[in-house]
């Protein structure tokens, strides 16, 4: 899971880099908030369009080859982001970047289904969340000093180099299954293979049954909603703090780092508590209780942030909101493993297609609302309503019911 941790960390390192230097980019190219929203949205749109094909490919040929493709592409277009010369080239490069990075999270879910026992599913997914928040927490400490010293383009070249280092490690070390790893004991391999969600078979993915499944539809709508909050934090929050709440660049750097540091703690604790809670009250009730609670608490604390101009209170509210946002995402991806089994990557890809559609929506709508209202708080009220819808969806989700039915599960 260390490899997955760093994979997700470096992808989020770049995702938030463009927002951390967003004010500098808008100034350099004279962009409005609406135009900058399209820059952010180009990545999310491409990510959504290519999410399902990338997830299907991972289930078919194995996650290792897909990861190598993702990070090589990621590194190239991260570097090219630092070489753009205007709005059009920036949108094109970010679209191609999103196209290449698509499938990172779904294929990581596929790895969890292959490498973790059922009883540790949430713990495995929590490593992904810890990686994303570590990347986002580390980014301000790297990006802002580099941008101040060498200009806003330089951080993208640094990020590309980090990606290439990960690529070499993945090629030399990672394999698709425990049985392919030489340094794992035969006892551990046997234990994982007997107790994991993954069950190897050659049946095609049951698209007709899946697309008629009420649980899957409720899950994808809920994830669409949570991505509104997620992309606020990683795409618009630095701008929101600087231009909306009048934080200095230094204050924004510190606040952003704190917000994501506490989210690392949330992911770690949740990975331990959730699997314990499932043993006590059952999979269906535990997943539902956690998700609804997290969605509602996110909505409350985001509303608090919109209602105050006190810098300290804003930071506390955003720390709390993002603290509960991580467990909500972990629960969604864990449910993909629960109901998808050996097709967890494909199910996660379907869910994340809708999720990235939500990310595209907030990326574009946020900037447009700000330009129309001249108020950075206005989009947050809409976001609160979307999160409440996401909470309601979980009434219809039962993580104990499998979408993929194979003989071993009957």
Written as six digits, the tokens of 283 are 């999979």
Rounded Cα distance, 333 and 318, in Å = 23
Rounded Cα distance, 112 and 178, in Å = 11
Q: Give residue 405's pLDDT.
A: 57
Radius of gyration in angstroms for the set of CA atoms belonging to the chain, rounded to a whole number:
20
Nearby residues of 410 by Cβ (< 8 Å), 6 or more positions away: none
Asked if 343 and 336 touch (Cβ cutoff 8 Å), the reply is no
What the chain holds in terms of domains, given with CATH numbers, is: 2-197+204-409 (1.20.1250.20)
Q: Give residue 197's pLDDT.
A: 61
Q: What is the pLDDT of residues 147-184, one digit of tens each?
A: 999 999 999 999 999 889 988 888 887 777 777 677 77
DSSP letters, 14-48, are HHHHHHHTHHHHHHHHT--HHHHHHHHHHHHHHHH
Cα-to-chain-centroid distance, residue 98: 13
Written as six digits, the tokens of 68 are 């190598």
Q: What are phi and psi of 117, to 5 degrees?
A: -60, 155
Count CA atoms closer than 13 A to 56's CA, side-chain side: 11
Q: Give residue 89's pLDDT.
A: 95
Q: Give residue 203's pLDDT.
A: 65
Q: Secondary structure of the chain: what % helix, strand, coil (to 5)? A: 85, 0, 15
Nearby residues of 44 by Cβ (< 8 Å), 6 or more positions away: 98, 231, 356, 357, 359, 360, 363
Q: How high is the mean pLDDT of the chain?
A: 87
Nearby residues of 47 by Cβ (< 8 Å), 6 or more positions away: 98, 99, 101, 102, 352, 356, 359
Q: How many other CB atoms are found less than 10 A from the CB of residue 179?
A: 13
Q: 196 in helix, strand or coil?
A: strand
Point out the residues of the chain with pLDDT beneath 50.
406-410
């Amino acid at each position: 899971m260390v490899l997955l941790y760093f994979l997700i960390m470096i992808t989020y390192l770049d995702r938030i880099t463009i927002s951390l230097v967003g004010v500098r980019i808008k100034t350099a190219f004279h962009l409005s908030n609406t135009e900058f929203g399209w820059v952010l949205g180009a990545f999310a749109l491409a990510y959504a369009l290519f999410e399902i094909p990338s997830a299907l490919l991972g289930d078919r040929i194995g996650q290792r080859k897909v990861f190598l493709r993702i990070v090589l592409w990621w590194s190239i277009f991260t570097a090219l982001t630092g070489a753009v010369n205007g709005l059009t080239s920036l949108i094109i490069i970010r679209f191609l970047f999103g196209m290449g990075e698509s499938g990172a999270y779904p294929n990581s879910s596929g790895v969890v289904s292959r490498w973790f026992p059922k009883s540790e599913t949430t713990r495995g997914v929590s490593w992904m969340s810890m990686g994303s928040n570590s990347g986002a927490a580390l980014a301000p400490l790297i990006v802002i000093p580099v941008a101040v010293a060498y200009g806003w383009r330089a951080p993208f070249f640094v990020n590309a180099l980090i990606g290439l280092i990960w690529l070499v490690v993945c090629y030399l070390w990672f394999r698709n299954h425990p049985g392919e790893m030489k340094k794992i004991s035969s006892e551990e391999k046997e234990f994982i293979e007997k107790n994991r969600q993954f069950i190897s078979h050659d049946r095609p993915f049951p698209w007709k049954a899946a697309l008629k499944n009420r649980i899957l539809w409720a899950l994808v709508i809920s994830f669409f909603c949570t991505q509104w909050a997620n992309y606020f934090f990683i795409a618009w929050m630095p701008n929101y703090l600087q231009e909306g709440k009048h934080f200095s660049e230094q204050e924004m750097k510190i606040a952003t780092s704190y917000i994501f540091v506490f989210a690392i703690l949330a992911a770690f604790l949740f990975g331990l508590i959730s699997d314990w809670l499932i043993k006590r009250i059952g999979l269906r009730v535990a997943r539902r209780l956690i998700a609804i609670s997290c969605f509602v608490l996110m909505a409350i604390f985001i509303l608090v942030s919109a209602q105050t101009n006190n810098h300290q209170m804003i930071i506390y509210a955003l720390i709390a909101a993002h603290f509960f946002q991580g467990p909500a995402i972990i629960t969604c991806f864990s449910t993909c493993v629960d109901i998808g089994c050996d097709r967890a990557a494909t199910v996660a890809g379907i869910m994340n297609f809708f999720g990235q559609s939500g990310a595209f929506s907030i990326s574009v709508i946020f900037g447009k609302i700000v330009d129309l209202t001249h108020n950075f708080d206005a989009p947050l009220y809409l976001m609160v309503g979307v999160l409440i819808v996401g909470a309601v969806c979980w009434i219809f989700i039962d993580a104990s019911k499998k979408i993929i039915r194979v003989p071993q599960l009957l």
